Structure 1
Amino acid sequence: MKGYFGIGAEGISKPMNMGALMRTAHAFGASFFYSVDADVKVTDMYASDTSKAYENMPYYNWDSIEDMALPRGCQLVGIELTDDAVELPEFKHPRAAAYVLGRELGNLSPEMMAKCHHIVKIPTKFCINVSLAGALVMYDRMVSMGAYANRPIMPGGPQKMTISK
């Protein structure tokens, strides 16, 4: 795969969720991890980060949106369940991206959404756990960016099954 990505969360408050998201980012090959306005002691998240991601990729802990310093050319992609967001299966991931997820008990702030180049939603009936949402986004990026060959399609569609009586 060409390009790079980072992933993080705004206003996250549960250290186990933050550690799980960081561990998952490490597993999917993220270039960096970050938090903005996190209400978590950084050392508390390490309990759920059994991969020790913080020793293997940069972690940025920004106090505010104004403090964010993404690499030049990196597009910020907000993950939020809004009516006008692009559904994840239809989204073309930028080559250089930083994905941002919202807090556990709320949404991305209006200020963060205004800073985003794209707003994408996972097509679910309601919000899901932040670390699970991050995993789905990173998996979709990996598959859609060409890390694997396309899945084979059966010519003519699936065969009809005949049920004997």
Structure 2
Amino acid sequence: MQLKKQQISLGLVNPKNPVNVASILRAAGCYGVASVFYTGQRYRFAKDFNADTKAFHKVIPTVGVDDLKDVVPTGASVVAIELVEGATPLPEFEHPENAFYILGPEDGSINSETLAWCDHVVYVPTYSCMNLAATANVLLYDRLAKSDYAKGNALIRQSRDTNNRTKI
């Protein structure tokens, strides 16, 4: 069983934690993300110490760039995910078919210059801010939950860990 090819890319603004980026790569692999771009030097210096246990970094292009605006995929709507006043709550957001999601750094925010060229700004309603990897997972799951997604035992068999053969 093959999952539908997604038109999703992620842009990470100066991520600092290689474990978070590795977790994002795992989520990207699970939810069909085509590519991941990142800015800044912090992850470049630390990326060799990653925790991408499924090795999705070998399958999903993970590219360091100077400016995310320069790599917006053709035809993609740019969606910033940030806790800023005036943003749309994620449960009310309708995901574009072709999306470039931009996520801010763990220890800061997406700057207003970047937010100005985004098509949408969305936030995840929580009682506190989540870390980068948690935000990416919630975002990608929300996109899946609102879509016409694949279901059934064939998908379960394809997706589960090799040590899991449980049936109900």
TM-score, reference length from structure 1: 0.81
What is the aligned partner in structure 2 of residue 48 from structure 1? 51
Secondary structure of 2:142's counterpart equals: helix
CA distance in 2, matches of 1:123, 1:42: 32
Amino acid at match of 1:32: S
Deviation at 1:2, TM superposition (A): 6.8
Q: Which residue number corresponds to residue 89 of structure 1?
A: 91
User: In the superposition, relative to structure 1, how do residues 50 and 15 fare at CA in structure 2: closer, same or farther (>3 Å)?
Assistant: same
Rate the CA distance shift 1:26–1:2 in 2: closer, same or farther, 3 A: closer
Contact 2:20 2:132 in 1 (8 A): yes
Q: Deviations over 1:41-78 (max 9, x none)?
A: 26625621111112112222112245x22221111110
Tell me, yes or no, if structure 1 residue 4 matches structure 2 residue 7: yes
**1:142 alignment partner in structure 2:** 144
Any runs of at least 4 consecutive aligned residues in structure 1 with deviations exceeding 3 A, and if so which? none
Is the CA contact 2:73–2:100 (under 8 Å) kept in the aligned structure 1? no
State the AA in 1 paired with 2:18: P
Q: Which amino acid aligns with 2:36?
A: F
Alignment partner of 1:30 is 2:33: yes
Describe the shift of the 1:53–1:82 C-alpha distance in structure 2 as closer, same or farther (beyond 3 A): same
Q: Alpha carbons of 1:83 and 1:8: their partners in 2 closer, same or farther (altered >3 Å)?
A: same
Counterparts of 1:89 and 1:2, CA distance in 2: 23
How far does residue 36 in structure 1 lie from its aligned partner after superposition? 2.0
RMSD value, Cα:
1.9
AA aligned opposite 1:31: A
Q: Secondary structure at the match of 1:48?
A: coil
C-alpha contact 2:6 2:32 (8 A) present in aligned 1: no
Instruction: Compare CA radii of gyration and give the structure with the larger one.
Output: 1
Matches of 2:45 and 2:123, distance apart in 1: 28
Change (3 A) 1:104 1:57: same
Q: 1:58 aligns with which of 45, 58, 61?
A: 61
1-side partners of 2:25 and 2:147: how far apart? 21
Q: What stretches of structure 2 of length at least 5 have no aligned partner? A: 152-168
Q: Quick check: 1:18–1:45 contact (8 Å CA) kept in 2?
A: no
Q: Is the 8 A contact 2:35 2:61 kept in 1?
A: yes
Matches within 5 A, 1:148-163: none
Aligned length: 148
Higher-helix-fraction structure: 2
